[in-house]
Amino acid sequence: MSDLTGELIDGRYELIRLIASGGMASIYAATDLRLDRQVAVKIMHPHLAQDEQFVSRFIREAKAAAALTHPNIVAVQDQGWNQNGSPAVFIVMELIEGHTLRDYLFEQGSLTPQQALPIIIPVLSALAAAHKIGIVHRDIKPENILIAKDGRIKIADFGLARGALLGTTMTVESSVILGSVSYLSPEQVQRGVADSRSDVYAVGIVLFEILTGQKPFAGDDPIQIAFKHVNDRVPKASSLVPSIPTELDELIYRATSSNPDQRPRDAEEFLTALRDIAEKLDPKRRQLSLELDLPPLPISPVKERKKREMPKSMQTLISKTEQIVAPKREKTASTKAESSPSEQIRIKRKLSKRVKRNRIIAAALVAGLFIIGWTVFVGPGARVVVPSVAGLTVKSASKEFTALGLVTEVKEEVFSEDVAAGKIITSNPAGGGKVKEGGTVTLIVSKGKERYEVPALTGLLPDVAAKQLTDGNLVLGTQTESYSFDIPQGAIISTSPKAGEQVKKDTRVDIVVSKGVEQINANSYVGRSGEQALNELSDAGFDVSPEYVFNEKEMKGIVISQKPEGSQNLPKGSTITLVISKGSEYVSVPNVQNKTATEATRDLQNSDLKVIVKKIGTKKVKTVTNISPKAGTKVKRGSTVTITVG
């Protein structure tokens, strides 16, 4: 989607800057020109605006958040379609200046229970309010939990929410695809069914991640992760961080149960249990949380207050004070009245010096305040608030910083599993921080996911392969052996993953090492059937080459000789030559006298002889009258015999 910065949406909302962009929509900071206030405008990508299902989800988000009034839920203020200018479906929300919980975890890693509970308790408080009116969020994850600059926790993105007030038009497939698979409950993955216990499961996973610094399940693709959520039990957080209190560990383990009936029934029950644990963790200090669980009390009209009667003790104290002060006042007055003119001038001078001194002090204070103000707001001490540029390209961020009079510098590029290559991970100062006017903001830019190519190891020895893998930030895995025709013994046949695949750092690469060519016992078939020898030797893996020769001793089809000789081990695939008898080279001419031409020809051909037929006479039925050579004569197989029929 093209950048719409500067556009006027619905004749009312002027888009100031792009805050974030996702697969479905982009969010802009904007000014509501009608009410002169800062808002956030979420605009659906144009290519999705033609899809009724996505538009329905977009409007569902507005309705879901608008149906809830809670301090920990991002308030929705407007929704509509831009009629003029760029066509757009939009939602107007309160502008939350701050970061997502994902950004916070990226910087902090894991948190202690004392740090984590003030974040999760407001989330559960907001969800409890939603669950009370039958709305289920269905997409709780760190990216949808906002932490404002003033510390307020807000839940955003009710785009997958369902409830009686909202209808149920989303399909099972779309909800599973749109939801974040790392936080989906087993019932959402299997059946696409979600209720308040599904939100409880997601919050349990988020709390697990906050306390341990990692998700319970990892995988190369979403299908693997979803499979683990369905088939594996989420481990106890204490298995990764033993210092987690037992009660908190058991509550998380219960909330992430594969069986929904074993979890807290809704966010309210989860919240109550978590507050009890929070009080036990620090019983001396009254627990304070950022969420407001009670509705605001109605404000009664201001009435004119009656003057209160002063307590007797205070009246007594004042009367005594007046008795002490009054004589002094009288004495001072009488003294002034009786003093001479010269004394009055002296007193006036003293008062003038004091006034002069006070004026000097006041002037010094004003000058000091002026210098401090000039230093902070105009001079070298002036500070510029740094906007959040996480997720933007360096070019876009530089454009924003240049407009503020700041210099941009890429400090380093690092790998990231979450931020795409070329996008900014964080800045220093981070968004919301301050820097001197004309100062430098350093950026940490993502190089994308850290992946390394599996080298081609076929034909190498394992020791050489291990060094290549180490140099390529990979690890040699298990070794298995297999026979090979082509690869010499001790060399690598293949790898898993295969050569050329892109894998994560320190991935284990398993190898298959050659045992050389397999040796097989070749039996001797001399004097046995050539057909049997051909079949059995071929099935054993040998390449059999038969040769057929005449032999006066062996019958036709019998093996005369075998090379190499049988009864020894030979490499599988070796060539074995079999010499097979074609029988005697000579054959006796059969007696076909008085047989018809057809019968005689058949008998002669069966004896491997060629036949020439000569016909004489006028008889209807002709028979053989002469054979040449004569019957009984020995001739070579394939010789020609002439018969005369008449």
Token digits of residue 160: 């997958």
Cα 194 from Cα 207, distance rounded (Å): 19
Catalytic residue among 139, 157, 199, 266: 139
How far, in whole angstroms, is CA 491 from its chain's centroid?
Answer: 37
**Contact predicate 270/200, CB 8 Å:** yes
Handedness of CA 14, 16, 20, 21 (dihedral sign): positive
Verify whether residue 139 is a known catalytic residue: yes
The DSSP line for 421-446 is TTBEEEEESPTT-EEETT-EEEEEEE
Handedness of CA 633, 639, 644, 645 (dihedral sign): positive
Phi, psi values for residue 44, rounded to 5°:
-70, 145
Cα 154 from Cα 501, distance rounded (Å): 41
Question: Is the bond into 245 cis (omega within 30 degrees of 0)?
Answer: no
Q: Directed axis angle between helix 246-255 and helix 196-212, to 10°?
A: 140
Sheet holding 76-82, edge to edge: 8-9, 13-21, 25-32, 37-44, 88-94, 76-82
**Contact predicate 603/620, CB 8 Å:** no
Q: What is the 3-state secondary structure (H, E, C) of 116-163?
A: HHHHHHHHHHHHHHHHHCCCECCCCCHHHEEEECCCCEEECCCCCCEE
Handedness of CA 633, 635, 638, 644 (dihedral sign): negative
What residue type is assigned to position 14 of the chain?
Answer: E
Cα 644 from Cα 646, distance rounded (Å): 7
What residue type is assigned to position 179 of the chain?
Answer: G
Count CB neighbours of 370 within 10 A. 10
Cα 529 from Cα 555, distance rounded (Å): 10
How far, in whole angstroms, is CA 521 from its chain's centroid?
Answer: 54
**Contact predicate 589/631, CB 8 Å:** yes
So which residues are the catalytic ones? 139
